[in-house]
Structure 1
């Protein structure tokens, strides 16, 4: 499933938000990695990604985070959740964790350039 993402980066507060276009609110907020939060709706589908202290969490410069070319891939099965974030076609972060969140099997891409 592919969706358009609206991303914003607040350099002063070092906060990144990637929101699925057309989605409002969320039913649950899960910490999927230290400092990375995935918000999901009532259907257990991702609605946004929130990263406070983004430059530190992702270990990249604030100027890179200001790019508008951001893609986030989320893959889930019954056992694990994989999260990948690319900026300007470069992988800046990747993690895999246990899917204890109730997120259904999916292959989800949110992309700023759709």
Structure 2
């Protein structure tokens, strides 16, 4: 599993969560992987950001939890399934396993704010 440093931010007023890989400035494709969760990858099939609109409702957690900066996002994807797990303070707040209907390329990646 590849690991990169994640920079995360949460906007309480707009209820949006953004996680971006440190040093990544562009993306090649943007996928809606679940209701309200979007994954951007670069031309090398490396995740560069995660955007979540209406984050407190999507994750079903209080907004105060989303303000925490200790975030990990694990993405594992092959031609059949996509797995997305998000942790804040080592508490799993989101776990999605779904069919890879978007044709997202093979990914096995961890984005970690403490990397």
C-alpha separation in 1, matches of 2:44 and 2:108: 15
Give the secondary structure class of the aligned counterpart of 1:109.
strand
Q: Gaps (5+ residues) in structure 2?
A: none
On the 8 A contact 2:45/2:107 being kept in 1, the answer is: no
2:105 pairs with 1:104:
yes
Aligned to 2:11: 10
On the 8 A contact 1:44/1:102 being kept in 2, the answer is: no
Question: TM-score, normalising length from structure 1?
Answer: 0.94
C-alpha separation in 2, matches of 1:41 and 1:58: 25
Matched residues, number: 114
C-alpha separation in 1, matches of 2:41 and 2:11: 22
Deviation of 1:81 (Å)? 1.0
C-alpha separation in 2, matches of 1:45 and 1:51: 18
- Within-5 A mapping of 1:1-114: 1-114=2-115
Question: TM-score, normalising length from structure 2?
Answer: 0.93
Give the secondary structure class of the aligned counterpart of 2:69.
coil
